[in-house]
Amino acid sequence: MPMTDENPAASLSAREVYQLLKDIALGEREMAAAGAQRWSASYCGSLPVRVDGWQLSVFFEVGELGYCSECLAPDGRSGSVDSWGRYGTDPIQLLSRWEREELERKLRAL
């Protein structure tokens, strides 16, 4: 799911992606695996998922959620760890501890 960040006006903010991840954690949105990769089948890697027209990849290592590597909104806007890094914020860092644990649990269940 390669995405570009050539047009900053068309970029997703870390806050927008955080809200999507929070909605998943709270059970307000359902996600589905977007590829053959499964959390339980690997020691580390990128896990692509789909959520209501959104596409995102989360990186996990040693069984723990690391960061959101990229996200594409249904309207075509995108964001990535490279663009969010300029502001020092990854969407997953914005989650509360409970939200993060719920998100990890749901990702493991895919």
Confidence of residue 1 (pLDDT cuts 50, 70, 90): very low
The pTM for the full model equals 0.84
Q: Which residue has the higher pLDDT, 63 or 65?
A: 65
Structural domain spans, the chain: 10-109
Give the pLDDT confidence score for residue 6 in this predicted structure: 47
Tell me the H-state helices in the chain.
Answer: 14-25, 81-85, 97-109
84 phi and psi angles, rounded to 5 deg: -70, -30
**Residue 4 clears pLDDT 80, i.e. is over it:** no
